[in-house]
Amino acid sequence: MNQIETTTRLGNRKMSYAIHVSSWIILLGSPFFFTGKEQQVLSLLGYIRSILVPLSFMVVFYVNYCLLIDRFLFSKHTWRFFAANLVLIAAAIIGVHLLMNILPTPETMRPRPHHERELQEIIGFFFVNAVIYMLVTGLSVAFRVTGRWYAMESSRHELEKSRAEAELQNLKSQLNPHFLFNTLNNIYSLIAFSPERAQEAVHDLSRLLRYVLYDSSQPTVPLDRELNFINNYVELMRIRLPEQVSLTTRIEAQNPETPIAPLLFISLIENAFKHGVSPVQPSFIDIDIHEEETRIVCCIRNSCFPKDNERDKSGSGIGLHNLSRRLELLYPARHIFTYGEKEGIYTCRLELQT
């Protein structure tokens, strides 16, 4: 759990405590504001009698909140929960009724005949107040269920985040050997006709691997560093292209420090070199990566000479699938990714909202 999540939980807990405390302060302080015409000054005895019912509400609320809901309701013993509440509410009503009779009646209260007072108290406590006690029980259930729902949602989000991070790490671990495998194949082909260039390519490859193994382990990198990596890779690939292949590039950043997830474009460029080049026919590759306001746009067009996947063992078939999944995890609802072939030209377009 990171520091932000911990701070959020503590803030929610403090807010819950504040709601509980402020609610009971208002309820227990209400006798000071509603003393009535006959009692302009609230005596200690009058206040004690006034808060007996709110205190009984508190008892019913917290017995449910702290004990009965967890023990019976959440464990699916619903009838036991209702039976326990019937006993609890009856005990609260009887207890308040007895305490009202035990405590002396303030002098400001007009005495009433015993039979009239007893009848009204029985009707009031056992019928009218019973409804209020049931509402208090329902309120405690609502508070407890809401709190549990928030806790479950928080746990679910944490599990989803952990799963997404693990899946993303797995995708990156697939990408690194995939990239290395394709690049080594290119250098192997280069050795056959230019050993000197192959030596230079190995040196260039060491710089590329340093980026792949170290810089790409960060969640984001500056855009200019990612584009430098792309430029180095393109130049490494350029030296082995046949003469009939036209390679044009536009790779630039207006805001070099714009953060971006690393290694998002390399799969598209690898596929362009793999499927866009013919050893005998005229072919082309056009790579355009630039910024448009708050978007990073990557558009790659190439002639279409698809390789036989059964014979080709480079592993580039996993590239587009991995990229699509990484985009879903890293840029949900903040990317547009399209690709396909039309009239012999294969086009990939990726837009990222930064």
Which residue is it, tokens 């019937």?
86
DSSP letter (8 states) at residue 281: S
Residues 46 and 100 in one domain: yes
147 plus 260 within the same structural domain: no
Amino acid (1-letter code) at residue 150: Y
CA angle 203, 208, 209 (to 5 degrees): 95
Domain membership flag for residue 163: no
The tokens of 176 are what?
A: 């690194």
Q: Would residue 260 count as lying in a domain?
A: yes
Residues 103, 220 within the same domain: no
75: tokens are 């464990």
Same domain, 276 and 199: yes
Residues 124 and 40 in one domain: yes
pLDDT, residue 266, reads 87
Specify whether 198 is located in the same domain as 143.
no
- The answer to whether 208 and 238 have CB atoms below 8 angstroms apart is no
DSSP assignment letter at 38: S
Largest CA distance in the chain: 118
Query: Considering 158, 178, 210, which residue would you say is the last residue of a domain?
Result: 158
Residues 212 and 65 in one domain: no
Contact 221, 258 (CB under 8 A): no
- Residue for token pair 């362009």: 272
Q: Choose one of 158, 183, 210: the last residue of a domain.
A: 158
What is the DSSP-derived secondary structure letter of residue 34? Answer: -
Do 220 and 344 share a domain, yes or no? Answer: yes
Residue 167 inside a domain? The answer is no
Would residue 344 be called left, alpha or beta, if left means φ above 0 and alpha means ψ between -120 and 50 degrees? left
Q: How many structural domains does the chain have?
A: 2
- 152/203 same-domain check: no
Q: Which of 300, 299, 212, 297 is nearest to 262 (CA)?
A: 212
Which pair of tokens denotes residue 182? 């394709």
Helices and strands (H and E) in the chain: how many: 9, 7
Measured between its terminal Cα atoms, the distance across the chain in Å is 26
Note whether residue 345 is domain-resident. yes
- Is 137 in the same domain as 211? no
Range of the domain at 121: 3-158
Asked if residue 207 belongs to a domain, the reply is yes
112-130 burial code (b ≥16 CB/10 A, e <16): eeeeeeeeebeeebeeebb
In a domain, 302, yes or no: yes
Q: How far apart (Å, rounded) are the C-alpha atoms in residues 189 and 41?
A: 100
Please indicate, yes or no, whether residues 347 and 199 belong to a single structural domain of this protein. yes
Q: How far is CA 129 from CA 56, 100, 347, in A?
A: 11, 14, 74
Is 182 within the bounds of a domain? no
What 3-state DSSP class applies to 337? strand
Q: Please list the residues that pair with 342 across neighbouring strands.
A: 345
Q: Do 284 and 214 share a structural domain?
A: yes
Give pLDDT tens digits along the chain (354 positions): 444 444 445 555 666 666 667 666 766 666 655 555 444 555 667 677 777 888 888 888 889 988 898 888 888 888 999 999 899 988 988 888 788 878 776 655 555 555 555 665 566 556 777 888 888 888 888 888 888 888 788 777 776 766 666 665 665 555 556 667 767 777 777 777 777 777 777 877 788 878 877 777 788 999 999 999 899 888 878 877 888 999 999 999 889 999 998 888 988 998 898 889 888 899 999 999 999 989 999 999 999 988 765 444 444 445 687 788 888 888 988 999 999 999 889 999 999 998
Q: What local confidence, expressed as pLDDT, does residue 314 receive? A: 41
Given this model, what pLDDT does residue 105 score? Answer: 67
pLDDT of the residue at 122: 61
Residue 165 lies in a domain: no
3-state secondary structure of 39: coil
Closest CA to 237 of 288, 281, 271: 271
Which CATH number is 269's domain given? 3.30.565.10
Q: Quote the tokens at residue 96.
A: 């308040």
